[in-house]
């Protein structure tokens, strides 16, 4: 009897049905010199408003999708430009519920375009229900003497 080897699919070949854009006001984060939980300075949007998503443009985005949907998370700095500010996702944590489960928990993926490594992650809604999850990002501001801030907040995902 031969053993079956499970191979992880090439993440770069996956096309998420759900896209979540995370725009970070790096100047605001740096101006507050904040590390930790935040309630301002980050704006989340998804492509599911017609399917019932709500709280677009806030930290409290509530994404609605179908069970089995792949979900792409892309983080971008609002003030990147000449200042060289950069943002990357450093992790996700399950707070309440388990829509992602262990099998669909978001993982880093090659970013589309020329984004830095860590700026794009893909997860999958594996189970019907509602989950509150936490997103943590690293915000790097400045080029001469870069300063890093680590901030996080909670968002909600409902799969049916």
Phi, psi (degrees; rounded to nearest 5) at 58: -120, 175
- Does 146 map to a domain? yes
Q: Quick one: tokens of 36?
A: 């930790």
Q: For residue 101, what is the domain's CATH number?
A: 2.60.40.3910
For residue range 91-112, what is the model confidence (pLDDT) as tens digits? 999 999 999 999 999 999 999 8
For residue range 24-48, what is the model confidence (pLDDT) as tens digits? 999 999 888 878 888 899 999 999 9
pTM: 0.89
- Does 73 map to a domain? yes
Give whole-number Cα distances, 5 to 90, 101, 103, 155, in Å. Answer: 29, 22, 16, 35
- Does 36 map to a domain? yes
**Count of structural domains within the chain:** 1
- For 89, the domain range is 16-159
Question: Mean pLDDT lowest for which of 2-11, 20-29, 61-70, 82-91?
Answer: 2-11
Q: Is 99 left (phi over 0), alpha (psi -120 to 50) or beta?
A: alpha
- Does 37 map to a domain? yes
- Does 11 map to a domain? no
């Amino acid at each position: 009897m031969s053993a079956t080897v499970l191979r992880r699919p090439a993440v770069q070949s996956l096309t998420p049905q759900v896209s979540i854009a995370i725009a970070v006001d790096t100047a605001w984060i740096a101006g507050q010199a904040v590390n930790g939980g935040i309630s301002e300075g980050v704006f989340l949007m998804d492509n599911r408003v017609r399917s019932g998503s709500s709280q677009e443009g806030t930290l409290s985005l509530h994404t609605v999708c179908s069970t089995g949907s792949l979900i792409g998370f892309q983080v971008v700095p609002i003030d990147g430009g000449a200042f060289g500010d950069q943002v990357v996702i450093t992790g996700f944590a399950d707070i309440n519920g388990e829509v992602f489960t262990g099998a669909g928990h978001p993982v880093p993926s090659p970013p589309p375009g020329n984004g830095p490594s860590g700026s794009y992650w893909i997860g999958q809604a594996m189970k019907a229900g509602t989950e509150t999850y936490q997103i943590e990002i690293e915000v790097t501001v400045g080029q001469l003497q870069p300063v890093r801030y680590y901030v996080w907040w909670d968002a909600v995902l409902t799969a049916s």
